[in-house]
Amino acid sequence: ATPALAKALLTASERIPHFRLLTVDLKAQYDGPESAIAELQAAVRTGDRLLREWQEHGLSPAAIHRQLQFSFAIGASYFLQIAKLRAFRLLWTQVMLAYELPEEAFPPVEAHLAPATQTDDQHTNMIRATTQAMSAAIGGADRLTILPGDAFQGRSTDFARRIARNVQHILQMESHLDQVVDPAAGSYYIEILTE
């Protein structure tokens, strides 16, 4: 962070207020189910470092926080991925309290399917994409990126792209996952994993 970048960030945030310019990208941190704690640690550490560094250049924590978003890879371990995103929300809420940021200003959380979970079988990937999307939605992701089931083969068919586009619509319109505040609340297993 430099003074010139701080000025550019402030100018951009005024001109395009709904655009997030600082992404804490944790997709490279994903290394299977055992990396969930390391991902959470990196998310909080990096986000806090950004808040402190930019603050040294005259930006308020609230101004910086309005520019933050977090991007996680979602693996195939269904319950653990739900718990990971829920745990992140709990941890980042503590950071927000430390900086006296309003709770309703929670930064967006993106979820991307982890490439390591994909195989050469398009149909297996479609099923995995659906369960990974469900775990991201139940975990509280605000945005979801689903690649076509055959994307890892180098090119995608129209059918695979259509299925990838429609997974989140099916979860929303047929499963109604968007109509429950916290679908995992009260699940003993997920609550224990989250803690």
Question: Do residues 149 and 123 lie in contact, with contact meaning Cβ atoms separated by under 8 Å?
Answer: yes
Say what the pLDDT of residue 1 is: 63
Q: How far is CA 61 from the centre of its chain?
A: 21
For the chain, give every domain's residue range.
Answer: 38-194
Question: Do residues 112 and 27 lie in contact, with contact meaning Cβ atoms separated by under 8 Å?
Answer: yes
Coil/strand/helix, residue 24: strand
* Ordered per-residue pLDDT tens for the chain, 195 residues: 677 888 888 888 888 888 888 999 998 888 877 889 999 999 999 999 999 988 888 888 988 898 899 999 999 999 999 999 999 999 999 999 999 999 888 999 999 998 888 888 888 999 999 999 999 999 999 999 998 988 877 788 999 999 999 998 999 888 888 888 888 888 999 999 998
Classify domain 38-194 by CATH number. Answer: 3.20.20.240
Say what the pLDDT of residue 167 is: 92
The residues, any chain, with a CB within 8 Å of residue 141's CB and separated by 6 or more, are: 72, 74, 85, 109, 110, 111
Cβ burial of 173 (10 Å; 0-12, 13-18, 19+) is exposed
Say what the pLDDT of residue 109 is: 97
What is the tens place of the pLDDT at every residue in 71-94?
999 999 999 999 999 999 999 999
Query: What pTM value is reported for the model?
Result: 0.90
Cβ burial of 190 (10 Å; 0-12, 13-18, 19+) is buried
Kindly state the greatest CA–CA separation across the chain. Answer: 51
Cβ burial of 153 (10 Å; 0-12, 13-18, 19+) is middle
Query: Which amino acid belongs to residue 173?
Result: M
